[in-house]
Structure 1
Amino acid sequence: MSKLLEHYFQLKQKGTNLKTEFIAGLTTFAAMSYVLVVNPSILGASGMPIEGLITVTALAACIGCLLMAFITNYPIAMAPGMGLNAFFAFTICLTREVPWDAALGIVFWNGILFLLLSVTGVRTKIAEAIPAALKIGVQCGIGMFIAFIGLKNAGLVVDNPATFVSIGDLSEPATLLALAGIILTIVLVIRKVTGAILISVITLSVIGAFIPVGDGYLTQHTDQFIGLPDDISNTFFAMDIMYPIEHLAETWDLIFALLFVNMFDTIGTLIGVSRRANLLNKQGELPKLGKAMTADAVASVMGAAVGTSPVTSYVESAAGVSSGGRTGLTTIFVALCFLLALFLTPVMKVIPLMATTPALIMVGILMMDSFRQLDFDDLTALATATVALLAMPLTFSISEGIALGFITYVGIMMGTGRYKQVTLITYAMAAVFVLRYVLDLK
């Protein structure tokens, strides 16, 4: 068996071995396993039946990891994406009032389009045509949006009729504990503790089990720690793939926004993790980028089938790479960990929403990292990125942030006489978004 693995994954050629790949797989899983708790809590806000979402998340992650492993032989794990799940729940379902099964249909077509763009090479042309400032603004905006959701869930930020938002009641045990958890998570990440986010979630859940709230406790008590995975019949192939076609005028921008976010999130993660794993060639390119994007697209289609938001590459894979992971065998071990985690479903189901706050805040902070890549001497870039960044949390919509970012960039470039530097794709998208607002096509 070991010889077969050695031959298939080229372990010696990549300078690794079975033990190293196993440890790397465990490390990556520990770093990203918080998704098993956070993804169901976010998707549940869309109206999806919460029962079975832990199972769905684990299965989607397992499928994505196996696809990446066998198609590319890269140590890059996959799971339902943070940011993409927020877009699914809060923008598509809550803001635009699209039923969750129809939203899964949008995810399905997003995956199909992503696949077509990847295999035809059009993906590269689109990626090069979009201004860098807009890409940065969108990624950072999603980070702020996710962090804002975390603050809201914990009660740290509440609505206010006069100022729209204000500070919550910090005398509430759940709110105070969430704040402590945020600080704990940041400290652990700074100290480079493996699985920092997961440790924080578990710590807050354990403490919550001793804090009385009403007739119970902040964290529900349970006598069952191991059990069979939940049934997923409520979401399995429940996607309404005809809804986006029948309501194309109302959903086209959602499909585009989802595709836009998924594409650049995936490319950024793949290049970033691959650089750490020394997988890039002399030109700084990832040799199997097309195949990796294909694996991502297929995983999203299959994820929609089981009942979750788009599946994408996880930057937490860098933790496994830092532990020596160099091949797809690392990713296979991550997939096996997700399957084994299914039998801990009873424990994960009692974790309170408050305990997921540090995970959302930390993910948001990490996504803000790309803002330092912005040229602060270029006011056009700064303005474009800032508008997109602020619009997402303030409008509670990722798609609106993307739309306003496109419009702002084109407007500034035309107003300053640099209209020839704007690509046709960028012009087309800005024009379409302007028409959407003028004609109120929502």
Structure 2
Amino acid sequence: MSTTILERVFKLERHGTTIKTEVLAGLTTFAAMSYILVVNPGILGLSGMPTEGLITVTAIAACLGTLVMALMTNYPVALAPGMGLNAFFAFTICLGREVPWEAALGIVFWNGILFLILSLTGVRTKIAESIPASLKIGVQCGIGLFIAFIGLKNAELIVDNPATFVQLGDLSNPAVLLALAGIIFTVVLMVKQVAGAILISIVALTVIGAFIPTENGMLTAAPNAVVGMPESISNTFMAMDFWYPIDHFAETWDLIFALMFVNMFDTIGTLIGVSRKANLLDETGKLPKMGAAMTADASASVVGAVVGTSPVTSYVESATGVSTGGRTGLTALVVSACFLLSLFLTPLMKVIPLMATTPALVMVGILMMESIRQVDFDDLGALATASVALLAMPLTFSISEGIALGFITYVGVKVGTGKFKEVTPLTYILAAVFLARYILDLK
């Protein structure tokens, strides 16, 4: 693309930026979120999906989703399979409900279609406004704890115990100790605001793992090559069971709703947060192209289901590129190109041990917990709602159960304290449906 074309498409001068600044911002954003290329396949692989090609799937989904956002909105926002959403896919849908991964992809597809319809019609705004703030915060923090718990479990820092359910793992095991050191190292890098801190941690642990022996050889195996052709996605492309959510609607409606709920509020929060940093909000504090951004996000989830991954969503790591000066879709275009190029580094990424992703999962969980400060601690009802949702997710190992219990608690507290008029009709309906599901054991 020539400079003239880039200026005409992305309106760089109007946004007070340059090609050089946008490219640097794109590289910064990619460095901050590229850990998903390793973490997402690791989580999805636990669902029973064939691991061959999952790195390719993740890169393609991120590349296409980010490209759509760049061209539809001209915002410096990058997309990829969402953290939390992938955990929901693997642990709640596939392992918890024992839904085949092909059927789970069908659920993701219909979630994306529903999200797209709500975005195009504007109904999503009314839904977003009808959900209590305490529940939104509790869900986000709960997902953070859930993700961190998964990371600790994968590294065997936390193991099962028949008496107490969980206990500390064996810190005399070099691999377990390395995972703990990696968490501390990642936090230190984040505190020092080192660009690409999570990626640096993953690389460092992978390299050190090459010197740690296990029963099956070294913790990190030697790669067959540095670069290579992308793996085929034939195992997952169009593998979704399109009809499963329709044929089993009574058992899957809550899963579709939970995915949409998490995706919607995660997307809205990310878009507003990143846009505020980029000074893209109008004088009323609203994002001018919110509808287009939500449509791009929903479309990306549909594409993700087609190629074979969990919902694709906007990434808060986009803020790192904005902090470097990114202001337009050119930043996102650079991120998209980086994901495309990363396809040829698959041989290197395949040798990264699951343990090395633990700091990434824990760090993402910590960052998602930041919103707890927004809870009104003087309002015991709000605190109870947020706390129930927050605690239920890691303790039940299910995001959907946390959402359901959060709705029931919120309505119960409001009705019990005589503040029933503060509850919206939609919240009443959802709380009643979730309660009926438990009482009638409709799972």
TM-score (norm 2): 0.99
CA positional deviation for 1:7: 1.1
Distance in 1, matches of 2:63 and 2:319, equals 18
Query: 2:245 touches 2:252 (CA, 8 Å); kept in 1?
Result: yes
Query: 2:224 touches 2:347 (CA, 8 Å); kept in 1?
Result: no
Residue in structure 1 matched with residue 56 of structure 2 by the alignment: 55
Residue in structure 2 matched with residue 281 of structure 1 by the alignment: 282
What is the SS of the residue equivalent to 2:313?
strand
Residue in structure 2 matched with residue 42 of structure 1 by the alignment: 43
Amino acid at match of 2:101: W
Amino acid at match of 2:252: T
Distance in 1, matches of 2:296 and 2:28, equals 22
Query: 2:135 touches 2:386 (CA, 8 Å); kept in 1?
Result: yes
Residue in structure 2 matched with residue 258 of structure 1 by the alignment: 259
Residue in structure 1 matched with residue 348 of structure 2 by the alignment: 347
Distance in 1, matches of 2:419 and 2:215, equals 62
What is the SS of the residue equivalent to 2:166?
strand
Residue in structure 1 matched with residue 86 of structure 2 by the alignment: 85
Structure 1 residues 88-237: aligned runs within 5 Å = 88-237=89-238
Residue in structure 2 matched with residue 296 of structure 1 by the alignment: 297
CA positional deviation for 1:241: 1.2
Distance in 2, matches of 1:119 and 1:79, equals 21
CA positional deviation for 1:214: 2.0
Residue in structure 2 matched with residue 8 of structure 1 by the alignment: 9
Distance in 1, matches of 2:263 and 2:326, equals 25
What is the SS of the residue equivalent to 1:159?
strand
Distance in 2, matches of 1:223 and 1:252, equals 44
CA deviations 1:29-55 (Å, max 9, x no partner) are 000000000000000010000000000
Amino acid at match of 1:330: T
CA positional deviation for 1:8: 1.1
Residue in structure 2 matched with residue 438 of structure 1 by the alignment: 439
CA deviations 1:348-394 (Å, max 9, x no partner) are 00000000000000000000010001100000000000000000000
Distance in 2, matches of 1:130 and 1:319, equals 29
Amino acid at match of 1:52: G
Distance in 2, matches of 1:199 and 1:411, equals 46
Distance in 2, matches of 1:294 and 1:10, equals 22
Distance in 2, matches of 1:25 and 1:53, equals 24
What is the SS of the residue equivalent to 1:385?
helix
What is the SS of the residue equivalent to 1:266?
helix
What is the SS of the residue equivalent to 1:42?
helix
Distance in 2, matches of 1:41 and 1:222, equals 17
Residue in structure 1 matched with residue 399 of structure 2 by the alignment: 398
Distance in 2, matches of 1:273 and 1:381, equals 26
CA positional deviation for 1:221: 1.1
Distance in 2, matches of 1:333 and 1:107, equals 27
Query: 2:185 touches 2:201 (CA, 8 Å); kept in 1?
Result: yes
Q: Which consecutive unaligned segments of at least 5 residues does structure 2 have?
A: none
Higher mean displacement: 212-221 or 42-51: 212-221
Residue in structure 1 matched with residue 358 of structure 2 by the alignment: 357
Residue in structure 1 matched with residue 334 of structure 2 by the alignment: 333
Distance in 2, matches of 1:130 and 1:39, equals 29
Residue in structure 1 matched with residue 313 of structure 2 by the alignment: 312
What is the SS of the residue equivalent to 1:165?
strand
Residue in structure 1 matched with residue 74 of structure 2 by the alignment: 73
Distance in 2, matches of 1:215 and 1:88, equals 30
CA deviations 1:244-297 (Å, max 9, x no partner) are 000000000000000000000000000000000000011110000010000000
CA positional deviation for 1:223: 3.8
Distance in 2, matches of 1:259 and 1:211, equals 42
Quote the RMSD (CA, aligned, Å): 0.5
Q: What is the identity percentage for the equivalent residue pairs of Structure 1 and Structure 2?
A: 76
Distance in 2, matches of 1:373 and 1:396, equals 24
Structure 1 residues 422-437: aligned runs within 5 Å = 422-437=423-438
Amino acid at match of 1:291: A
Amino acid at match of 1:284: G
Q: Which consecutive unaligned segments of at least 5 residues does structure 1 have?
A: none
Distance in 1, matches of 2:386 and 2:94, equals 26
CA deviations 1:19-72 (Å, max 9, x no partner) are 111100000000000000000000001000000000000000001110000000
CA deviations 1:110-152 (Å, max 9, x no partner) are 0000001001110000000000000000000000000000000
Structure 1 residues 367-378: aligned runs within 5 Å = 367-378=368-379
Distance in 2, matches of 1:437 and 1:72, equals 42
CA positional deviation for 1:215: 4.2
Residue in structure 2 matched with residue 23 of structure 1 by the alignment: 24
Distance in 2, matches of 1:279 and 1:97, equals 43
In the TM superposition, structure 1's runs of 4+ consecutive aligned residues that sit over 3 Å from their partners are: none
What is the SS of the residue equivalent to 2:12?
coil
* Count of residues in Structure 1 that have an aligned counterpart in Structure 2: 442
Amino acid at match of 2:127: I
What is the SS of the residue equivalent to 2:228?
coil
Distance in 2, matches of 1:117 and 1:339, equals 30
What is the SS of the residue equivalent to 1:51?
coil
Distance in 2, matches of 1:165 and 1:428, equals 36
Residue in structure 1 matched with residue 250 of structure 2 by the alignment: 249
TM-score (norm 1): 1.00
CA positional deviation for 1:420: 0.9
Distance in 2, matches of 1:150 and 1:202, equals 16
CA deviations 1:156-198 (Å, max 9, x no partner) are 1000000000000001111000000000000000100000000
What is the SS of the residue equivalent to 2:160?
strand
